[in-house]
């Protein structure tokens, strides 16, 4: 298939997704969303327009949208929930042929609101094994969290992080979090820095609350796969769909309350040297089941049916 991949890069991650489509044997041309309007010749060439975020559809003029629909080209998007009220989701995704959603709660909600529920498919996040893999490093960080700030004033992560810093030897990475947290936060900007922090940390913590502006829910982040992919210990909030990805206590550790988070984090820190079997099992599961290349293979199988 000939695919035009419309993206805006972040950590060089989203551009890499286009390369995965190429690895699967498809012809891929890239178009940076910040370049305003896509050339019509690119659209004529393509069988599929793969748009990283639904709002990037604005690169298409009204005439180009008609060209897409009248010639049977497929309009595809993959990602999380848009940061608008549920009631507006139908408008956001209008015109798409395939919408891949990485959160089960969002998937169920949007299908219940949509006039075309058949276009939505659940595909979870994953990780890139070429970027996140086991390594050796001095374990000089007892526990850590890596993330970015959002515009959500009710984001539960800030409360959980602030409370955790009071009772654990805990390091936070993500420069944009500094202003929101009012505490020392270390910057990071590359995949190398991310994996080195994972390697250095005994208890990598997850606070999987969505950054949607209108409500909080548990939300699978890429680090949920990256940390196991690096062969390290991950502790995050429990959710049923999380436990489907990694088995509790055998591959990944889960908590259901703040007190349980602290108790389990302290136990991991004190018993890290005994957790080789858990780390290996998590790594094996990540490599076998959760690489992004598998997710894109599954999506293309659905698109090409």
Q: Where are the domains of the chain?
A: 2-124+291-303, 141-289
Q: What angle do CA 252, 145, 84 make, to 5 degrees?
A: 95
| pTM of the model as a whole | 0.89
Quote the CA–CA distance of 19 and 24 in Å, as a whole number. Answer: 9
pLDDT higher than threshold 80 for residue 150: no
pLDDT higher than threshold 80 for residue 25: yes
Flag the least confident range among 18-27, 149-158, 221-230: 149-158
Q: How confident is the model at residue 203 (pLDDT cuts 50, 70, 90)?
A: very high
pLDDT higher than threshold 90 for residue 91: no
Calculate the CA dihedral of residues 7, 8, 13, 18 and round it to 10 degrees.
Answer: 20
| Closest to 221 measured CA to CA, from 233, 231, 211 | 211
Half-sphere exposure of 172 (CA within 13 A, CB side): 26
Mean pLDDT of 11-36: 85
| pLDDT for the residue numbered 206 | 95
| pLDDT for the residue numbered 8 | 81
- Structure-token pair, residue 284: 């094996």
Quote the CA–CA distance of 124 and 289 in Å, as a whole number. Answer: 11
Of 63-67, 206-210, 229-233, which one has max mean pLDDT?
A: 229-233
Residue 200 · residue 140 · CB < 8 Å = yes
Mean pLDDT of 23-40: 90
| pLDDT for the residue numbered 80 | 57
pLDDT higher than threshold 90 for residue 13: no
Q: What length does the chain have?
A: 305
| pLDDT for the residue numbered 103 | 80
Which tens digit of pLDDT belongs to each residue from 40-81? Answer: 999 999 999 999 888 888 889 999 999 999 999 999 998 755
| pLDDT for the residue numbered 214 | 42
| pLDDT for the residue numbered 2 | 97
| pLDDT for the residue numbered 242 | 93
Q: How confident is the model at residue 213 (pLDDT cuts 50, 70, 90)?
A: very low
Rounded to whole angstroms, what are the CA distances from 158 to 64, 222, 241? 43, 19, 24
| Closest to 169 measured CA to CA, from 274, 258, 270, 276 | 270
| pLDDT for the residue numbered 11 | 57
Mean predicted lDDT score pLDDT of the chain:
87
| pLDDT for the residue numbered 55 | 81
Residue 205 · residue 265 · CB < 8 Å = yes
| Closest to 127 measured CA to CA, from 232, 255, 265, 248 | 232
Class of domain 2-124+291-303: alpha beta
Q: CB count, 10 Å around CB of 191?
A: 17
Which tens digit of pLDDT belongs to each residue from 240-284? Answer: 989 999 999 999 999 999 999 999 999 999 999 999 999 999 999
Superfamily for 141-289?
Glycogen Phosphorylase B; (3.40.50.2000)
Q: In this prediction, what percent of the chain has a pLDDT beyond 70?
A: 86
Query: Cα–chain-centroid distance for residue 128?
Result: 11
């Amino acid at each position: 298939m000939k695919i035009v991949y419309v993206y805006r890069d972040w950590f060089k991650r989203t551009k890499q997704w286009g390369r995965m489509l190429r690895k699967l044997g498809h012809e891929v041309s890239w178009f940076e969303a910040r370049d305003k309007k896509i050339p019509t010749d690119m659209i004529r060439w393509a069988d599929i327009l793969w748009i990283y975020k639904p709002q990037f559809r604005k690169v298409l003029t009204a005439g180009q949208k008609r060209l897409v629909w009248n010639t049977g080209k497929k309009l595809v998007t993959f990602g999380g929930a848009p940061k608008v009220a549920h009631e507006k989701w139908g408008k956001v995704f209008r015109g798409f042929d395939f919408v891949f959603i990485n959160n089960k709660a969002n998937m169920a909600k949007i299908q219940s609101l949509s006039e075309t529920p058949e276009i939505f498919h659940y595909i979870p996040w994953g990780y890139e094994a070429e970027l996140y893999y086991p390594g050796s490093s001095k374990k000089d960080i007892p526990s850590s969290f890596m993330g970015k700030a959002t515009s959500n004033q009710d984001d539960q992560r800030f409360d959980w992080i602030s409370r955790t810093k009071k009772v654990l030897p805990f390091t936070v990475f993500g420069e944009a979090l500094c202003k929101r947290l009012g505490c020392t936060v270390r910057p990071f900007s590359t995949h190398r820095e991310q994996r080195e922090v994972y390697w250095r940390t005994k208890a990598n913590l997850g606070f999987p609350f969505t950054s949607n502006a209108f409500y909080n829910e548990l939300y699978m982040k890429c680090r949920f796969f990256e940390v196991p992919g690096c062969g390290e210990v991950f502790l995050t909030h429990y959710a049923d769909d999380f436990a489907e990805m990694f088995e509790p206590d055998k591959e990944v550790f889960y908590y259901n309350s703040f007190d349980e988070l602290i108790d389990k984090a302290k136990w991991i820190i004190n018993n890290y040297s005994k957790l080789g079997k858990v780390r290996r099992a998590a790594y094996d599961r990540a490599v076998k089941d959760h690489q992004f290349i598998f997710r894109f293979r599954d999506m293309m199988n659905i698109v090409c049916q």
